[in-house]
């Protein structure tokens, strides 16, 4: 715990850890040289069976072989999209792209055609790396169809085929890569339209993962079961690069199934696991139904939303582990605040912890950007080495999010106590956080407005005891609305998790004086029972 006594809501950056000037690829080489025979990666396949294993020396050798192959097909700085569930190939691509100077663009394997097309086009990608299918989503077919209309795409590669390591026409050579260079583009919800691509540097990703993993207590002897999706900064950044920092073993789970994960925790003697609250609840329910020996488990790290005291107590009772929450966002690579292992249950449940190392955090007035007094609510802002470089090809959005003083404006409301502990209280933006995953109302609204029967729509986050929030669609129709047809329309055009859970037809929307729909009134009236669902 940092010993702070603040009078305003501005916690200065703490220098208990240094900011390292190193790239992802250089870090892999460093760890492989220091711990060549240490186990680095264990594959757990979708059926729960164990796949391949790699030492750090073996992982580096495979990553360098792939990096040379990629360098013969692509020029440094070019963008390539990876569209795949968790797999060793995903990890190899992350390291190989960093070694070859390519920018890795991540895509959710649940994407449908227009979502994938948007990421490919907006990122300026020249290649798509994918798998044929995942959870019934025909990714190979969708990918082939989408790229026919995108002239910039030179290659579509099945990551499980020999083409993954194919040689191209360029002389294979690995370039010099700098810590400040772009390493990834990750798409995150913005204020209008479709998501924006946060361009993240090697410096930001490497240091954020080290700050996070260190506060989790990760060491060379740690075994960390990674259940977080690799297309999120949580999976490919916090855990993958966190394990690399510590030089420890990562057990990579392809598909989250609570019983498979618990079996792996027991079999591997894992120390640490990171999950969003809904994942943790599923693990607890499965552990209660069929207990495993989790005596080695030291910490359950949790992000995505605030947690209830009962969840922390259940983790202690059923898993015998400590609990630590965190707060962050993609634009910060992603962790901004995090608990210390010594924090009390009150702090764990009622705050999101103190800032991570080298990170300055302030609570600023949404009216004039001034720092507010301790305990007052304002916008949570962060400044330091982990702030994104920019939003890809979107200077206006970049300047609106990172101000002239370098402060990243998160769009989240919160307060800070005199010790520098931050509590998240709401959102300036209208983001919906369902089960730890962000959903942007405008994207869902735009999709629904394309349906002939919908005249107006407002998508609102509604409180839910299991998911934290669920997606509610309030609609005014040009004709009687058919819930089944609207549901099918959403599923055909968006990822399944973006489809509204609750459908309500309204005759008149509550409006502001300027004619904007007052979403908070819709939410309050729904909670009060004023609406009937379709």
Series of mean pLDDT values for 10-residue runs along the chain (534 residues): 97 97 98 98 96 98 98 98 98 98 96 95 98 96 97 98 97 97 86 76 98 98 97 96 98 97 97 92 95 98 75 92 94 97 90 97 92 94 98 96 96 93 79 80 84 89 90 91 95 93 93 70 92 92
| CB-CB contact of 93 with 159 (8 Å) | yes
Give the per-residue pLDDT at 147.
Answer: 98
How far out from the chain centre does Cα 515 lie?
34
**317-320 own/partner pairs: CB under 8 Å, 24+ apart:** 318/284, 318/287, 318/288, 318/291, 319/283, 319/284, 319/287, 319/294, 320/294, 320/295
Q: Do 24-38+45-168 and 432-527 have matching folds? A: no
Q: What is the largest CA-CA distance in the chain?
A: 68
What is the Cα–Cα distance from 92 to 96, expressed in whole angstroms?
Answer: 6
Pick the CATH number of 432-527 from 3.40.50.620, 3.30.300.30, 3.40.50.2300, 2.60.40.10: 3.30.300.30
How far out from the chain centre does Cα 433 lie?
12
Give the per-residue pLDDT at 217.
Answer: 97
Give the per-residue pLDDT at 191.
Answer: 37
What is the Cα–Cα distance from 111 to 94, expressed in whole angstroms?
Answer: 20
pTM for this predicted structure: 0.86
Other beta carbons less than 10 A from residue 344's beta carbon: 11
Give the per-residue pLDDT at 511.
Answer: 77
Domain range annotation of the chain: 24-38+45-168, 432-527
How far out from the chain centre does Cα 155 lie?
26
Q: What are the backbone angles phi and psi of residue 151, rounded to the nearest 5°?
A: -65, -30
Nearest to 254 by CA among 216, 289, 225: 225
Exposure b/e, 271-300, CB count within 10 A at least 16 = b: bbbbbbbbbbbbbbebbeeeebebeebbbb
| R_g over Cα of the chain | 23
Whether domain 24-38+45-168 has CATH 3.40.50.980: yes
Give the per-residue pLDDT at 192.
Answer: 43
DSSP-based three-state secondary structure for 473: strand
Give the per-residue pLDDT at 434.
Answer: 85
Nearest to 274 by CA among 232, 318, 331, 219: 232
């Amino acid at each position: 715990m940092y010993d702070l006594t603040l009078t305003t809501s501005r916690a200065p950056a703490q220098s208990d850890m240094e900011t390292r000037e190193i790239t992802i690829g250089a870090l892999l080489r460093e760890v492989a040289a220091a711990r060549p025979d240490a186990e680095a990666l264990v594959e757990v396949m979708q059926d729960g069976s164990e796949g391949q294993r790699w030492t750090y020396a073996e992982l580096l050798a495979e990553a360098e072989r792939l990096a040379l192959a990629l360098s013969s097909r692509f020029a440094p700085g070019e963008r390539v999209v990876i569209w795949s569930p968790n797999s060793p190939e995903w990890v190899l691509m992350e390291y190989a792209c960093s070694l070859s100077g390519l920018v890795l663009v991540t895509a959710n394997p649940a994407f449908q055609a227009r979502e994938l097309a948007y990421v490919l086009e907006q990122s300026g990608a020249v290649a798509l790396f994918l798998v044929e299918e995942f959870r019934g989503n025909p990714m190979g077919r969708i990918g082939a169809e989408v790229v026919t209309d995108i002239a910039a795409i030179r290659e579509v590669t099945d990551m499980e085929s020999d083409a993954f390591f194919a040689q191209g026409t360029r002389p294979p050579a690995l370039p010099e890569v700098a810590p400040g260079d772009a390493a990834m583009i990750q798409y995150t919800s913005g204020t209008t339209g479709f998501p924006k691509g946060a361009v993240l540097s090697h410096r930001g990703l490497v240091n954020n993962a080290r700050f996070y993993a260190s506060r989790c207590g990760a060491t060379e002897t740690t075994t960390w079961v990674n259940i977080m999706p690799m297309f999120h900064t949580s999976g490919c950044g916090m855990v993958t690069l966190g394990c690399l920092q510590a030089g420890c073993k990562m057990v990579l789970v392809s598909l989250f199934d609570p019983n498979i994960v618990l079996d792996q925790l027991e079999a591997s003697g894992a120390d640490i696991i990171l999950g969003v609250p809904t994942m943790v609840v599923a693990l607890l329910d499965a552990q209660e139904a069929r207990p495993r020996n989790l005596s080695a488990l030291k910490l359950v790290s949790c992000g995505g939303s605030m947690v209830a005291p009962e969840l922390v107590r259940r983790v202690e009772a059923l898993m015998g582990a400590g609990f630590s929450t965190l707060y962050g966002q993609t634009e910060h690579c992603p962790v901004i605040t995090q608990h210390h292992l010594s924090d009390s249950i009150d702090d764990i449940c009622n705050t999101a912890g103190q800032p991570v190392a080298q990170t300055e955090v302030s609570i600023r007035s949404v009216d004039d950007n001034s720092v507010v007094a301790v305990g007052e609510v304002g916008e949570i802002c962060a400044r330091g080495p982990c702030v994104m470089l920019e939003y890809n090809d979107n200077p206006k959005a970049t300047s609106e999010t990172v101000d002239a003083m370098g402060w990243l404006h998160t769009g989240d409301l919160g307060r800070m106590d005199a010790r520098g502990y931050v509590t998240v209280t709401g959102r300036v933006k209208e983001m919906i956080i369902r089960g730890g995953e962000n959903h942007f109302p405008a994207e869902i609204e735009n999709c629904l407005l394309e349906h002939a029967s919908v005249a107006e729509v407002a998508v609102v986050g509604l409180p839910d005891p299991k998911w934290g929030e669920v997606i509610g669609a309030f609609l005014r129709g040009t004709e009687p609305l058919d819930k089944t047809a609207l549901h099918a329309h959403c599923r055909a055009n968006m990822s399944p998790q973006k489809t509204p859970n609750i459908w309500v037809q309204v005759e008149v929307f509550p409006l502001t004086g300027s004619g904007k729909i007052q979403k908070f009134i819709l939410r309050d009236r729904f909670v009060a029972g004023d609406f009937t669902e379709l």
